[in-house]
Amino acid sequence: MKQINTSSPFSSFAGLLSYVDQRKYALLLISFLILIFGNTFTEDHQIYGIVNVYQNLLTGLVVFYNKKRLRYMMMGIILVSVALDLFAGSISFVQGTSWHGILYLIFFHAGG
């Protein structure tokens, strides 16, 4: 007698990665749409803009988790971005959001 698997696809990390791998392009599309239109109706555009950038980077990390080179590069980009956000006031040569654009160029160049 064959047993039916009634467990959730999210019951393990491998199950979550399998679920994400099957729907990775839809997740990326949703993430990019949130990035583009996410802070349209908010008053504090700067804070939500930074949150949208991080959710997009984290989505990229989850979607490309099976590719070791991209995973490490994504973690590096996220760490550099967090460090620059934390120390942006004390670093005089870094302008507010210009480094987000530079990190995005690296993100899209490596992903393609």
Question: Which tens digits make up the pLDDT trace of 58-112?
Answer: 888 888 888 888 888 888 888 888 887 777 666 665 555 667 677 777 776 766 5
What DSSP assignment string belongs to 32-80? Answer: HHHHHHTTTT-S-HHHHHHHHHHHHHHHHHHHTTTSHHHHHHHHHHHHH
Residue 90 CA, chain-centre distance (Å), reads 26
Task: State the Cα–Cα distance between residues 4 and 109, nearest whole angstrom.
Answer: 43
- Asked whether residue 65 is assigned to any structural domain, the reply reads yes
pTM of the model: 0.66
Quote the pLDDT of residue 112: 54
- Asked whether residue 27 is assigned to any structural domain, the reply reads yes
| Residue 71: domain span | 13-111
CA distances from 41 to 47, 49, 51 (A): 13, 12, 15
Question: Which tens digits make up the pLDDT trace of 2-51?
Answer: 555 555 555 677 777 788 788 888 988 888 888 788 777 777 666 777 77
Quote the pLDDT of residue 49: 72
Structural domains in the chain (count): 1
57 has a pLDDT exceeding 60: yes
- Asked whether residue 5 is assigned to any structural domain, the reply reads no
- Asked whether residue 8 is assigned to any structural domain, the reply reads no
- Asked whether residue 3 is assigned to any structural domain, the reply reads no
